Chain A
Amino acid sequence: MSASMPVFVMQEVSKAFGGVQALQNVHCEIYSGEVHAILGENGAGKSTLIKIMTGVYQPDSGSMQLEGRPVVFNNTREAQEHGIVAIYQEPSLFPDLDIAENIFVGRQPVRWGIVDWQRMYADAQALLERLGLKLDPRTKARELSVAQQQIVEIARALSMQAKVLIMDEPTSSLTLGEVEDLFAIVRQLRAAGTAIVFISHRLEELFTLADRVTALRDGRYVATRMMSEVQTSDLIRMMVGRTLDELFPKQMVEPGEVLLEVEGLSLPGTFTDVSFQLRRGEILGMAGLVGAGRTNVARALFGIEPASSGRIRIAGREVRIESPQQAMALGIGYVPEDRKLHGLVLELGIDHNISLPILERFSPRGWINTRSETEAARHSAQQLEVKMASVAQPVGQLSGGNQQKVVLAKWLGTQPQILILDEPTRGIDVGTKAAVHALMSELAAQGMAILMISSELPEVLGMSDRIVVMREGRVAGIFEREGATQELLMAAATGAR
């Protein structure tokens, strides 16, 4: 980082939506060749800040300077032309177009108005090689993994000669190995003098990557610090204004009898010979790289894609699970990985989402008793402290953390004995995360058996009684809470020695 002038400055920037003050007098200085982390809980104003930097929103007051000159961006295109490019949390590629077109979207190289496909493919290939992605630029974006999609987005930013590259939670859907690759690219860009604005909820990532950090709380600027001078507890204090006594409030419970026993479970092409036991009151963590087959095992246990061979015993009795209905009847609940895709009906209200799996209970004669439905939903939503305008509010309007609470409320309503949670805290803020963890801990203490799939090793280590590590569809190891370390789990997950 040079001591010279910052490449991008925001001064006293404010923005309100309706009556809500999203940002108030926020200040931020970004230097070339630094990774600048922006930290804050959901709703702290990070997204608004980014959207102002990239011209999606215009500030109500305040000013911005790029390389010392005042700038105003009326739309994203103007920001991009000035070299300010953002990569959003969910990749915003065009699934039907190929890689090259995604990189040069809206800026295709043209000769006399004719799109020069040859040059486009050549340029795209060069960019991909620079980023170490071995892919044909003619590959359609829908065939790419999330990590590959992100690299394509970075290639897009590079092709725009980005001076400031903003990355909004780029790691939230990546595996450990992919995160490493991404960080290598980020470091390479930093060395080349790009300013990188990096947003992540995973604090440990910031320590490995970021040079400085600016914290926001409730739309206000809190502080900017050197990463080398702060510790996790400082970051949390900056973010929430108080110290979280324990990041992972795990209650120690003496596990009961074996509730779920899986033996030799296989589904050709996805997982092979998977065996483990899950006890009453136990939280069993499931770690591994994305694509290791963890989600497939969960889906098999819930009857979405049943295993083709192997045994499943519940409370000692052998069972066959071939549909989610059967799984639910056996007392299994499943909170899927992608809550928007599988977990919630975004257009429906909180009440109808919660009552979805238990509608029968409210409809003894085929007609739904909406009053008792609403009451029950209100009860569970309040229990989980879902922040809502009303219980009929469409779920799509809630924040990520609150959506996750609704999904949990929905499955808790079915009163499962076995709860499968797939990435239960992905992309939600520290406060809500702690609430979800506390809830898991409490449910286990009440005797529920919980299978938790997570790609965040601190979460796995902090919440689990035992940990199953999967690699390439097989169980690579089972670890006790005591003695398990990040290094051990990583080694098992990657097959390293």
Chain B
Amino acid sequence: MVTETRAIDAPHRGLVQTFVRFREIGLIAFIVVLAFFVTLRNPVFLTFNNLRDIVLNISILVIVALAQAMVIITRGIDLSVGSTIGLSAMMVSFMIAAMPELSPWLMLPLGMLIGAILGSFNGTLIALGRVPPIIATLGTLSIYRGLIFLYSGTKSTINAYEMPPAFRQIAKGAPLGIPNLILFAVAVAVIVFLFLRYTRVGRDIYTVGSNPDAARFAGIPLQRTLFLVYLISGLLCGLAGVLWASRFESAQNNTALGFELQTVAAAVVGGVSTLGGSGRVIGVVLGAFLLGVINNALTLIQISPFWQQAAQGLLILLAVIVDATISGRLQRMIGGRS
């Protein structure tokens, strides 16, 4: 097999190989084709403003989908992300509304702390209590959502006028010319990439998901890794909650309701295996981007709102199928092993 790799040393062949080995090639192809047809119907699609809107719209999704992806890589799932975002958004909004003199940037670590606490509760249930992740987080999905109602009481909404303008600038500001929201998403993606690739704990996440039994025999701290992954998921959701409140200038009882499904979709479309053990940051980012493109496209080509949700689901399924087929075919064609 060594000889096989050496035989294709010719530079351009090597390039083609690298390109095709790039797992996300099918996904990119699908996005390109989709973009092509949407542009035919409505040229607005390819304008700078529209593309920026898409990226803005998926920024929070990218952050939470990465959290979800890490959980799925360990063979788990975190259904409580939407509720965690909601609770973080609500608590932070109440605080900044009550104490507008506080630095709004203080809200970021605060939201992350809230999220980390909620996440570590999930982690405790799953790692220590051995509750299956789907059940544990289905429970906390309801509990955390319930806490939002309890916390907000009769005042179920914090509105824009109650928030200091500086707080809104967290997401909306663009001191570097690029909206902060996008910078946050990029920063999280880079950090998660480095974490997963270059730290032992990050590698353990794959190890644990790829073969939990073998991980135990190899002396990997299985429970600790699981706990950590849910804690990180909560932390990122907490961050997302602050960004959400800042971006939409409000916090409501139903903030981020049902968001967990989008995060799972982005991760899975992005090539994170639900069987655990594999998944890449770049894939998840592309997965989230595709969801953003689909949402945007359905509006641009004026699909009836009644159809939109069904069409969205259909396109997601189509993307997964196209991705699997194209990458499979190409890899066989070039002689790479599947």
Residues of A within 8 A of B (CB): 54, 56, 75-77, 80, 86, 88, 92-97, 101, 105-106, 108, 110, 113-115, 117, 134-136, 139, 143
Contact = CB atoms under 8 A, between A and B. Distances in A.
B277 A96 contact: yes
Nearest to B5: A136
A94 B217 contact: no
B2 A96 contact: no
Nearest to A148: B1
A136 B215 CA distance: 23
Contacts of A115: 197-200, 202-203
B214 A135 contact: no
Contacts of B337: 143
Given A76-B217, A86-B217, A93-B211, 12 more contacts: A94-B206, A94-B214, A94-B215, A96-B273, A96-B278, A106-B218, A106-B219, A114-B198, A115-B199, A115-B200, A115-B202, A134-B2
28 contacts: A54-B217, A76-B217, A80-B219, A93-B211, A94-B206, A94-B207, A94-B210, A95-B277, A96-B206, A97-B277, A101-B203, A105-B207, A105-B218, A106-B200, A106-B204, A106-B218, A106-B219, A114-B198, A114-B199, A115-B197, A115-B199, A115-B200, A115-B202, A115-B203, A134-B2, A135-B2, A136-B2, A136-B5
A88 B211 CA distance: 14
Residue of A76, A94, A136 most packed against chain B (CB within 10 A): A94
A139 B1 contact: yes
A140 to B, nearest CB: 9
Most chain A beta carbons < 10 A, residue from B1, B204, B220:
B1
Given A115-B197, A115-B199, A94 B204 contact: no
A96 B218 contact: no
Contacts of A92: 211, 213-214, 217-218
A80 B220 CA distance: 12
B216 interface: yes
A475 B210 CA distance: 39
A76 B214 contact: no
Interface string B156-196: 00000000000000000000000000000000000000000
B1 A134 contact: yes
Contacts of A113: 199
A369 to B, nearest CB: 35
B214 A93 contact: yes
A56 B214 CA distance: 12
B207 A97 contact: yes
Given A115-B197, A136-B5, A97 B217 contact: no
Per DSSP, are chain B's interface residues mostly helix, strand or loop, or mixed?
Answer: helix
A96 B219 contact: no
Nearest to A135: B1
A104 to B, nearest CB: 9
Contact of B206 (A93, A97, A136, A143): A97
B200 A94 contact: no
Contacts of B211: 92-95
Contacts of B202: 115
B199 A96 contact: no
Contacts of A86: 217
A147 to B, nearest CB: 13
- Counting chain B residues whose Cβ lies within 8 A of the other chain, the interface size class is 20 to 34
Nearest to B220: A106
A108 to B, nearest CB: 5
A77 B224 CA distance: 15
Contacts of A143: 337
Given A105-B207, A106-B220, A115-B203, A94 B277 contact: yes
A34 B199 CA distance: 38
Contacts of A77: 219
Interface in B1-23: 1-2, 5
Contacts of B209: 96
A97 B216 CA distance: 16
Nearest to A156: B218
A201 B77 CA distance: 42
B1 A75 contact: no
Contacts of A108: 200, 203
Interface in B199-254: 199-200, 202-204, 206-207, 209-211, 213-220
A56 B203 contact: no
A101 B220 CA distance: 13
Interface string B94-126: 000000000000000000000000000000000
Contact of A97 (B2, B199, B210, B219): B210
Contacts of A101: 203, 207
A414 B76 CA distance: 40
B221 to A, nearest CB: 8
Nearest to B211: A94
Nearest to B213: A92
Most buried by B among A86, A97, A139: A97
Most buried by A among B211, B215, B220: B211
Task: Give the 3 A-B CB pairs with smallest separation, nearest first.
Answer: A77-B219, A92-B214, A96-B277
Interface string B265-298: 0000000010001100000000000000000000
Nearest to B275: A96
A113 to B, nearest CB: 7
Contacts of A56: 217
A257 to B, nearest CB: 45
Contacts of B199: 113-115
A136 B3 CA distance: 10
Contacts of A96: 206, 209-210, 273, 277-278
A92 B273 CA distance: 20
A143 B204 CA distance: 21
B210 A76 contact: no
A304 B255 CA distance: 52
A271 B216 CA distance: 40
Nearest to B216: A76
A42 to B, nearest CB: 20
A285 B214 CA distance: 35
A80 B277 CA distance: 24
Contacts of A75: 219
Nearest to A138: B5
Contacts of B207: 94, 97, 101, 105-106
Contacts of B213: 92
B245 to A, nearest CB: 34
Contacts of B206: 94, 96-97
Nearest to A81: B219
A134 B1 CA distance: 7
A113 B198 CA distance: 8
B2 to A, nearest CB: 5
Contacts of A105: 203, 207, 215, 218, 220
A213 B35 CA distance: 69
Contacts of A110: 200
Interface in B67-82: none
Contacts of B197: 115
A113 B195 CA distance: 11
B299 to A, nearest CB: 38
Contacts of A88: 217
Contacts of A117: 198
Nearest to B73: A96
B191 to A, nearest CB: 13
Contacts of A97: 203, 206-207, 210, 277
Contacts of B217: 54, 56, 76, 86, 88, 92
A76 B215 CA distance: 10
B273 to A, nearest CB: 8
